[in-house]
Amino acid sequence: MESNVEKVALERSGREFMYKPTEKIGVIEVDNFPQLGKLTALRFLEWVQQNPDGVVSLPTGKTPEHFIKYVNKYLKEWTAAGVQKELQLYGLDPAKKPDLSNLHFVQIDEFYPIDPNQKNSFYYYVKKYYIDGFCLDPDKAMFMNLWHVGVPPNMTLKDVFPDGVVDLGLRNRHPTTAQEGLQKAVIEAVDQYCTDYESRIRKMGGIGFFLGGIGPDGHIAFNIKGSDHYSTTRLTATNYETQAAAASDLGGIEVSRNRLVVTIGQQTITYNKDVTAIIIAAGEAKSRIVAEAIENEKSNLYPATILQGLPNARFYLTKGAASRLVERRFVDFQST
């Protein structure tokens, strides 16, 4: 393990990094949700110190709340005595405040269709919390803004898909109306956009630092249960679990049921074999899906198993989220 932050956190947890052979990805446990954000923030800043012009992908939603707060806190108070002490404790170089403006940012996913100006779009989120919040350079960022992709001038995506429903069957059939013809052309343009997006990521050497949550069906990015491990950036449908989880973002499952997504693929994440890929999960509710991702052999049913074998892939978990990892339970049982 090359990360000082991880070494310190692991030592504090009193656990081993990986209980082989049952566990196939390394795990670092923390006590609670805020601690999860703190560890992740420190590891991110450590990585940026070492890779100031690297390629990063950061998550959306509520899970990164404390990650965002801690990164902002450390950057704002870098020279404060308390922060300096903490940085030293975790093995970061306190003299070297990370400069995030040279990072290349890659947006992970987005609903489709959605107006990027809506406050519940992921585009809005990453602009607010990462580009503006972390002072990243927008010119070095790749955004998933699909509002005008393939859409004729003087029209918006809302004109093309008035009820928000996109029939991906149009990829494979002839349109029956002029509106469907327009929709088919837009879908084809989005498909091309996704391929180009993937190419641009690969030209940069892939993603260097990937931070993501894990969905209720095990999804990472929007690569839902059953996704191909060789998947790339694409426009795709979601499953019930993902729609339920997205309902609060979109104002109800009635909306999220009909919404597609654009997502980077699993191979997009693993293209760079040296990627520092961290999945964060908090709470007992995530424990089953976490255990399935860490303990199962690679399988399409468990999207995060794609991270197995990557030397810098990790799960950062609260104790609740780690509670179904069988070897750790055994250790706890032995100590009672």
Partner 1 sequence: MRRNGKDYTKIPKSVESSLDQKIAAGLAPITNATFMHTAPHHDDIMLGYLPYINHLVRTPLNRHYFAYMTSGFNAVTNYYVLNLLENLLKFLEKPAFRQLLEEGYFRGRSSNRDWDVYHYLDGVASHSRTIKDEANARRLLRILIYLYEEESIEHLKDRIKELVDYFRTQYPGKKDLAHIQMVKGMIREWEADLLWAHLGFNSKSVKHLRLGFYKGDMFTEDPEFARDVRPIRRLMEQIEPDVVTLAFDPEGSGPDTHYKVMQAIAEALKEYLKKKGRKAPQIWGYRNVWYRFHPSEANVFVPVSLNSMAVMESMFMYSFGSQRDASFPSYELDGPFSRLAQKIQADQFQTVKTCLGDTYFNENEHPRLRACHGLCFIKKMTVPEFLEQTTALKKKMEANQK
Q: Is 311 in the site for partner 1 (CB under 8 A)?
A: no
Cβ(308)–Cβ(20) below 8 Å: no
Instruction: Return the residue of 88, 156, 179, 248 that touches partner 1, per CB under 8 A.
Output: 248
DSSP 31: S
Q: Which is nearer to partner 1, 270 or 318 (CB)?
A: 318
H/E stretch holding 80: none
Residue in 206, 218, 265, 320 binding partner 1, rule: CB under 8 A:
320
Regarding 314 and contact with partner 1 (CB under 8 A), the answer is: no
Provide the minimum distance between the beta carbon of 95 and partner 1 in the complex, in angstroms, as a whole number. Answer: 22
Q: Which of residues 76-115 bind partner 1 (CB under 8 A)?
A: 77, 82, 115
Identity at 104, one-letter amino acid code: H
* Contacting residue, 44, 125, 130, 209, with partner 1 by CB under 8 A: 125
CA 6, 11, 12, 16 dihedral sign is: positive
Q: Which one of the spans 7-15, 50-58, 144-152, 236-244 is the region binding partner 1 (CB under 8 A)? A: 236-244
What one-character-per-residue DSSP string does 155-221 give? --HHHHSTTS---GGGGTS--SSHHHHHHHHHHHHHHHHHHHHHHHHHHTTS-SEEEE---TTS-BT
250 binds partner 1 (CB under 8 A): yes
User: Is residue 270 helix, strand or coil?
Assistant: helix
Among residues 10, 27, 37, 265, which is the contact residue for partner 1, using CB under 8 A?
37
By DSSP bridging, strand 276-281 and strand 55-57 are unpaired
56 vs 165: CA distance, rounded Å: 32
CB of 86 to partner 1, least distance (A): 9
Interface positions with partner 1 (CB under 8 A): 31-35, 37-38, 62, 65-66, 68-70, 73, 77, 82, 115, 118-120, 125, 216-217, 240-242, 244-245, 247-255, 282-286, 318-321, 323, 330, 333-334
